[in-house]
């Protein structure tokens, strides 16, 4: 995955095809995920200010983009996660699912734009969950 930006500052996330899941050979973790992790964190931290402005259409768009990139990232990372001890793999997968669940909730909440709106709280929660998830993934993979 990489990001392209046009002259107007609009970002496009270009997703390459995920590698097929195989049991062998072991995919090497070479730190490339660090730039993807930084992108995910940046995207997650942009949600709060957008939610504070009450721009529901833009919030829905940004949260949907983050959801798409995060799900793709989780799919690409899955072969590595499955090689971790079972308990650790379950924790990471559970954390990933929590992030996805909150992102879906935020997209729906932003699309409805009803009062009272939980968008600010959800955006803050997503940023926190994303930080914890990324730290967990990087810590678990740094031992490999």
- Confidence at residue 31, expressed as pLDDT on a 0 to 100 scale: 45
CA-to-CA distance for 37 and 133, rounded, in angstroms? 10
Classify residue 44: in a domain, yes or no. no
> Mean pLDDT, to the nearest integer, of 109-121?
93
pLDDT above 90: residue 68: yes
CA-wise closest residue to 58 among 46, 70, 68, 69: 46
Q: In this predicted structure, what is the pLDDT of residue 140?
A: 60
Asked whether the predicted pLDDT for residue 94 surpasses 90, the reply is: yes
Report if residue 21 sits inside a domain: no
Whether the pLDDT of residue 40 is over 80: the answer is: yes
Confidence band for 142, pLDDT divided at 50, 70 and 90: low
In terms of Cα–Cα distance, which of 6, 19, 144, 13 is closest to 75? Answer: 19
* Under 8 Å between Cβ of 136 and 91: yes
Residue 113 located in a structural domain: yes
Is residue 111 included in any domain, yes or no?
A: yes
Euclidean distance between CA atoms 2 and 4, whole angstroms: 7
* pLDDT at position 17: 53
Query: Which residue range forms the structural domain that includes residue 88?
Result: 56-144
**Residue 26 belongs to a domain:** no
91 domain-assigned: yes
User: Helices marked H in the chain — which ranges?
Assistant: 33-53, 56-81, 86-112, 119-142
Q: Does residue 20 come out as left (phi exceeding 0), alpha (psi in the -120 to 50 range) or beta?
A: beta
CATH number of the domain residue 131 falls in: 1.20.120
Q: Are 108 and 63 in contact (CB under 8 A)?
A: no
Three-class secondary structure of residue 32 per DSSP = coil
Give the pLDDT score at 13: 59
User: Is residue 78 a part of any domain in this protein?
Assistant: yes
For the chain, give the mean pLDDT. 83
Q: Into how many domains does the chain fold?
A: 1
Whether residue 71 lies inside any domain: the answer is yes
């Amino acid at each position: 995955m990489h990001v392209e930006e046009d002259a107007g500052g609009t970002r496009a996330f270009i997703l390459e095809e995920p590698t097929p899941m195989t049991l062998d050979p072991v995919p090497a973790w070479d730190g490339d995920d660090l730039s993807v992790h930084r992108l995910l964190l940046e995207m997650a931290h942009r949600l709060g200010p957008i939610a504070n402005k009450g721009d529901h259409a833009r919030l829905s768009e940004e949260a949907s983009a983050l959801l798409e990139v995060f799900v793709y990232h989780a799919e690409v990372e899955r072969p590595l996660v499955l090689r971790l001890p079972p308990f650790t793999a379950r924790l990471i997968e559970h954390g990933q699912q929590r992030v996805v669940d909150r992102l879906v909730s935020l997209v729906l909440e932003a699309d409805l734009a009803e009062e009272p709106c939980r968008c600010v709280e959800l955006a803050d929660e997503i940023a926190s969950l994303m930080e914890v998830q990324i730290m967990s993934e990087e810590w678990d993979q740094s031992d490999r």
